[in-house]
Amino acid sequence: MKIASSLKTLKLRHKACRVVKRKGRVYVINKQNPRFKARAG
């Protein structure tokens, strides 16, 4: 999982990316490629 200050660039990398809020943190997840994950930190 990548930890990035800005999720906008990570979100634009693939069409299937979704921004999700879980437990007060913002994540980018990709259902088509489950290895692709990122967290705002």
pLDDT at residue number 4: 84
Determine the Cα angle at 18 with ends 27 and 16, to 5°.
135
Domains identified in the chain, total number: 1
Residue-by-residue pLDDT tens, the chain, 41 positions: 888 888 888 888 888 888 999 998 899 998 898 888 899 87
What is the domain extent for residue 16? 2-40
Predicted structure pTM score: 0.73
Among 36, 2, 41, 3, smallest CA distance to 18 is for 36
pLDDT at residue number 11: 83
pLDDT at residue number 21: 92
Instruction: List alpha helices for 1-41, DSSP H.
Output: 8-11
Instruction: Return the structure tokens found at 8.
Output: 């906008």
